[in-house]
Amino acid sequence: MRIAAVDLGASSGRVIVADVSSGVITFSEVARFPNEPVRVGGTLHWDVLALYRGVLDGLAAAGPVDSVGIDSWAVDYGLLDADGVLLGNPVHYRDSRTDGVSDRFSGHSVFSGYSVYEASGIALQPFNTIFQLVAAAGSAQLAAARSLLLIPDLISYWLTGVAGTEVTNASTTGLLAAGGKSWSPQMLSLAGVPESLFPPLRAPGSPAGVIAPAAGAAAGTPVTVVASHDTASAVAGVPGAGNFAYISCGTWSLVGVELPAPVVSVESYEAGFTNEIGVDGTVRYLRNVMGLWLLQECQRSWGLPLEPLLAGAASAPAGRSVIDATDPVFLAPGDMPARIEAACRSAGQPVPSTPVEMTRCILDSLALAYRRAIDDARRLAGVSVDVVHIVGGGAQNELLCQLTADACGLPVLAGPVEAGALGNILIQARALGLVDPDLSSMRALLRETQRLVLYEPRA
Ligand code: LFR
């Protein structure tokens, strides 16, 4: 059967078509379209209609398929009025409107930072939907809103006319009770929104409606709810077994372990670990590390391609300067080289003086941040880790994979690069009855069918 995965990323969207039958998965990208944020009146927005057009064109290019599933980055949303019409373009999670909002809760009389964490299980990151809603409080748009749809749910609603709230992505709002079974009344009251703003929760694998005639060529195709948070799909697509940690490495690096239940201890709160919901009720216990965004933003400033930078960095001196790759100072778009220089300077470290040196500094810093996150995850969750899986675009970065193995003192298995799309596809394949339904069998299928590269730690 033919399955289409729509995967919307921070810089581009793609439509991937897969054939899944008797233990074989073949797939290819049939469409890719840019995702270019637009600043309007000082606020950074997603151009969500351009994305929707890309999805429609991509589905037309895909030809007839048996099911479509949609995933994207988390936390961002569109607000709809009483007629179901979008009220303005969604705001980008890297916009500055949430600056300082989450800090207000550290000294809050009712909602301390820890009480927010304990209720939701979600680390207090500035861009969480809950803080975006606090930042939007009092706006005419929020007052007029009758429903809130996260980005993949919005695209799905436009395609099918059916509104729902997919649970893995809903967990990133910070508005679900820890464990992800229901909305948290306290967190909704903190955000100042009623539960009725959210269409019914739905789980990966359930039907999401049928594409309407207005959507053109793809009309009549069933849409299946997938793990619509891209990281949830990517972690479902980790070919792991036994005691493994994962790094979902793209614009962000999401580093952690999979658990059966959330960990909401004070230590875990202080260490910045989040408990996002994964497929089949699993918990993605992880820390957000800035990821390849650091390098992508530098490249945007320099106007330089990746390959020569990586080739140079491989022979540059190791560990000369390292920055904290989890520091929110690197979150916003803008002059990244200047921010990295400032971080090195204030830590009393040598300031990288060439793009190659800065590339090395970024990769060393990421590897160190991965090691810290994995060590903290083991300690805080009381689990062992024998192997680290790197999935996503970063799995292609040989230097980063080797530095990670070295820093962690553990073998790294890199791949698949397309773990997110594969996770999306496998959830649909399962709903269609094409694969063995348990998560470990789906992962075994990936181990058998996908190319993985082993990096052993060097002394
Ligand atoms: C990765 C990701 C992360 C989330 C960040 C913001 O694409 O979805 O998991 O923390 O983007 O949505």
Distance from residue 217's CA to the centre of ligand 1 (Å) = 31
Examine the pLDDT at 351 and tell me if it is beyond 70: yes
Within-domain flag for 436 = no
| Domain co-membership, 312 together with 398 | yes
Residue 329 lies in a domain: yes
Total domain count, the chain: 2
In a domain, 434, yes or no: no
Q: Which residue has the tokens 């969750």?
A: 381
Same domain, 212 and 266: no
Compute the mean pLDDT over every residue in the chain, rounded to the nearest whole number.
97
Same domain, 213 and 253: no
The answer to whether position 244 is within a domain reads yes
Mean pLDDT over residues 161-177, rounded? 98
Residues 44 and 190 in one domain: yes
H helices present in 280-331, as ranges: 293-302, 306-315
Q: Which of 7, 71, 95, 230 is the catalytic position? A: 230
Specify whether 307 is located in the same domain as 210: no
Provide the residue range defining the domain that includes 334: 240-415
108 — pLDDT class (breaks 50, 70, 90): low
Q: Decide if pLDDT at 52 tops 70.
A: yes
Q: How sure is the predictor about 137, in pLDDT bands with cuts at 50, 70 and 90? A: very high
Asked if 250 and 275 sit in the same domain, the reply is yes
pLDDT at residue 107 tops 70: no
Q: What average pLDDT does this structure show over 363-374?
A: 98
Q: Does residue 340 register a pLDDT over 80?
A: yes
How much is the pLDDT for 378? 98
User: Which ligand 1 atom is nearest residue 10's CA?
Assistant: 7
Residues 149 and 257 grouped into a single domain: no
DSSP-assigned letters across all residues of 90-146: PBPTTSGGGTTTGGGGTT-SSS-HHHHHHHH-----TTSHHHHHHHHTT-HHHHH-S
Considering the domain architecture, whether residues 199 and 276 belong to the same structural domain is answered as: no
Query: What is the 219 CA–ligand 1 centroid distance (Å)?
Result: 30
Query: Is residue 43 very low, low, confident or very high in pLDDT (cuts 50, 70, 90)?
Result: very high
Number of the ligand 1 atom closest to the C-alpha atom of 76: 12
Q: Quick check: bond before 204 cis, omega within 30?
A: no
Is the complex ipTM higher than 0.90? yes
Q: Tell me, what CATH number does 33's domain have?
A: 3.30.420.40
Q: At what angle do helices 355-381 and 398-408 cross, to 10 degrees?
A: 40
Rounded-to-integer distance, Cα 386 and Cα 414, Å: 14
pLDDT tens readout for residues 422-447: 999 999 999 999 999 999 999 999 99
Q: Are residues 206 and 266 in the same domain?
A: no
Domain termination site, one of 206, 228, 250: 228
Mean pLDDT of 354-379: 98
What lines the ligand 1 site, CB under 6 Å? 73-75, 93, 229-231, 251-252, 254, 288
Q: Is residue 439 part of a domain?
A: no
Q: Is the pLDDT of residue 12 over 90?
A: yes
Ligand 1 centroid distance, CA of 93 (Å): 9
Q: Is residue 431 part of a domain?
A: no
Q: Judge whether 230 counts as a catalytic residue.
A: yes
User: Which of 228, 263, 295 is a domain's end point?
Assistant: 228
Same domain, 295 and 169: no
Best mutation site among 130, 150, 254, 275 for ligand 1 pocket (most ligand atoms within 8 Å of CB): 254
Please choose from 14, 231, 391 the residue to mutate so as to test ligand 1's pocket, defined by most ligand atoms within 8 A of CB: 231
Judgement on whether residues 250 and 272 belong to the same structural domain of the protein = yes
Contact residues for 391 (Cβ-Cβ < 8 A; gap 6+): 234, 237, 238, 246, 247, 248, 249, 414, 415, 416, 417, 419, 420
The Å distance, Cα 297 to ligand 1 centre, comes to: 17
Answer whether residue 420 is part of any domain: no
Domain stop point among 378, 398, 415? 415
> Do 137 and 36 fall into the same domain?
yes
Residue-wise pLDDT tens digits, 273-315: 999 999 999 999 999 999 999 999 999 999 999 999 999 999 9
